Amino acid sequence: MITDVRSTAHMPACRVCGQPVREFFDFGRQPVSDAFRDPTDSSAEFYYDLAVGACGGCAMVQQSYEVPRARMFHAEYPYRSSGSAFMRKHFEAFAHHLLDTELAVPDPFVVEIGSNDGVMLRTIAHAGVRHLGVEPSGGAADAARAHGVRVLTEFFQEDSAGRVRTEDGPADVIFSANTVSHIARLDSIFRGVDALLAPDGVFVVEDRYLGDIVDSTAFDQIYDEHFYLFSVESVRNVSRRFGFDLVDITRLPVHGGTIRFTIARAGARPVAPAVDELLAGERARGLAEHRTLDRFAVGTRQARTELVDLLRRLRDQGRTVVGYGATAKSATVTNYCGIGPDLVPYICDSTPAKHGKLAPGSGIPVRPSDAFADPYPDYALLFAWNHAEEIMAKEHRFAAAGGRWIRYVPRVHIV
Ligand code: SAH
Ligand code: TYD
Ligand code: ZN
């Protein structure tokens, strides 16, 4: 029998429906995951309490505390979607799919929420199709503009969406990848979509899937930006609440397990059988139920113990371990597990904006990718495990030179 005092003691109200949320994990104090710091910056880091729970009313899995959005998304926000060739191909293929289907209408118009560096919209722009990215992080928005993408540097919400509707007319498609889950005020998103979407338009949302996170004990998918962890049941419920239907789903093998949710105005489109099939599967396995989420909590604690034991053992044996990929996810791993520069002296990463900075909380320095081979460490801790295929192929010389990869999803192991 698993007991967790906090889970019954702390029952916040659901951000979607107001019913009690039962916490199933508390990671403790965590820094802002993408707040890489200048080594000369001596100001205090911002911390918040990272705890997650499931709503008993609408099944939405969510965090208990909200980091103010301007602390996460601003001109210096360092994440760039185009850092992965695999993701570039993924979004290019989806853009072509949209051009061939939903956008194959007279004078089409597509809006993207959280367009980042234009990884998806650049293909739309090259095709000469009317589009608009809504992206509050100025550096990312400028990177998209350099690719010919039209961007509004604002948060998408009811008023900004209303202005877009007035100036550009209704959108045939509103697309958003890995962003809707970041927005605690989901009502502002749905009201904005309601203001902007054409009567027969679709709102397509791609985000991490709770089912995959639970199955692989991917505890590092939980950090400030991932305020919600979506399931078919919770997305269907929140859609209904705001006058929409979840009409289709597609599971995708990106970012360790993603679902593309297609949402339309209530009654506007038939519901595909895939929705009810996966919904039945979620209910049969009790995806949002205590027993399932408590098992995830046990697996998370076990991963921490095993990972820290392994890193200490290697250090004591005089082996070198370097981190690969200064991901936002790694902030949860390092800060929850207590991994600092004594166990992982630096992290190699391809993102220029992260170079020469210190990873949040842990203070582990970030170096450019070419530092990896200079010299190769004995072991590389793969923080960007969702890009494993791409990275291991790129770094094949590391394994050829006798280097070993350490992974912790779905369990701690050496490859
Ligand atoms: N769509 C890209 C980027 C995901 S990162 C991809 O899938 O790779 C999340 C992005 O959402 C960031 O660029 C962030 O600045 C942006 N964002 C956060 N809140 C937003 C909001 N309310 N409206 C629009 N974009 C937002
Ligand atoms: P990602 O896993 O996409 O997201 P998150 O930060 O939300 O967890 O981040 C991938 C990180 O890994 C990003 O900082 C870039 C880096 N990276 C490399 O250094 N080399 C690579 O080949 C790839 C694909 C990513
Ligand atoms: Zn709820």
- If you measure from the C-alpha of residue 167 to the centroid of ligand 2, how many angstroms do you get, rounded to a whole number? 36
What is this structure's pTM? 0.97
Q: Which atom of ligand 2 is nearest to the CA of 85?
A: 24
- If you measure from the C-alpha of residue 58 to the centroid of ligand 3, how many angstroms do you get, rounded to a whole number? 4
Mean pLDDT for the stretch of residues 34-61: 97
Q: What's the sign of the alpha-carbon dihedral 49, 50, 56, 61?
A: positive
Helical residues (DSSP H) of 51-100, grouped into ranges: 69-72, 85-100
**Residue among 146, 118, 143, 142 nearest 132 (CA):** 118
- If you measure from the C-alpha of residue 4 to the centroid of ligand 2, how many angstroms do you get, rounded to a whole number? 34
Q: Which ligand is nearest to the CA of 228?
A: 3
- If you measure from the C-alpha of residue 158 to the centroid of ligand 1, how many angstroms do you get, rounded to a whole number? 16
Q: Is the peptide bond before 410 cis (omega within 30 degrees of 0)?
A: yes
Q: Which atom of ligand 2 is nearest to the CA of 33?
A: 6
Mean pLDDT for the stretch of residues 18-24: 97
- What is d(CA 117, CA 411) in angstroms, rounded to the nearest whole number? 33
- What is d(CA 168, CA 150) in angstroms, rounded to the nearest whole number? 12
Q: Which ligand is nearest to the CA of 389?
A: 2
Q: Which ligand is nearest to the CA of 189?
A: 1
**Atom 20 (ligand 1) nearest CA:** 155
pLDDT for residue 52 is more than 90: yes
**Residue among 92, 202, 205 nearest 147 (CA):** 92
CB of residue 114 inside a 6 A radius of ligand 1: yes
Q: Which atom of ligand 2 is nearest to the CA of 178?
A: 7
- What is d(CA 366, CA 349) in angstroms, rounded to the nearest whole number? 7
Q: What is the pLDDT of residue 309?
A: 98
CB of residue 156 inside a 6 A radius of ligand 1: yes
Q: What is the pLDDT of residue 213?
A: 98
Mean pLDDT for the stretch of residues 151-161: 98
Residue 111: strand, helix, or coil: strand
Q: Tell me the pLDDT tens digit for each residue of 302-335.
A: 999 999 999 999 999 999 999 999 999 999 999 9
CB of residue 180 inside a 6 A radius of ligand 1: no
Backbone angles phi, psi at 231, to 5 degrees: -130, 170
Give the DSSP per-residue string, 292-312: HHHHHHHHHHHHHHHHHHHHH
Q: What is the pLDDT of residue 9?
A: 52
**Residue among 17, 211, 217, 199 nearest 105 (CA):** 199
Task: Work out the angle between the directed axes of helices 290-316 and 329-337 (0-180°, nearest 10).
Answer: 70
Q: Which ligand is nearest to the CA of 220?
A: 2
Comparing 7-16, 119-128, 204-213, 258-267, the range with the smallest average pLDDT is 7-16
Q: Tell me the pLDDT tens digit for each residue of 340-393.
A: 999 999 999 999 999 999 999 999 999 999 999 999 999 999 999 999 999 999
pLDDT for residue 1 is more than 70: no
- If you measure from the C-alpha of residue 142 to the centroid of ligand 2, how many angstroms do you get, rounded to a whole number? 20
Q: Is the peptide bond before 78 cis (omega within 30 degrees of 0)?
A: no
- If you measure from the C-alpha of residue 237 to the centroid of ligand 3, how many angstroms do you get, rounded to a whole number? 9
pLDDT for residue 10 is more than 90: no
Task: Work out the angle between the directed axes of helices 232-241 and 186-196 (0-180°, nearest 10).
Answer: 60
Q: What is the pLDDT of residue 3?
A: 40
Mean per-residue pLDDT of the chain: 97
Mean pLDDT for the stretch of residues 106-128: 98
Q: Tell me the pLDDT tens digit for each residue of 397-414.
A: 999 999 999 999 999 999
pLDDT for residue 201 is more than 80: yes
pLDDT for residue 186 is more than 60: yes
Strand-pair partners of 62: 53, 228
Strand ranges of the sheet holding 47-55, from the earlier edge strand across to the other edge: 21-31, 47-55, 61-63, 228-229
Percent of the chain at pLDDT exceeding 70: 98
**Residue among 44, 35, 96 nearest 71 (CA):** 35
pLDDT for residue 232 is more than 50: yes
Tokens at 57, concatenated: 């009313």
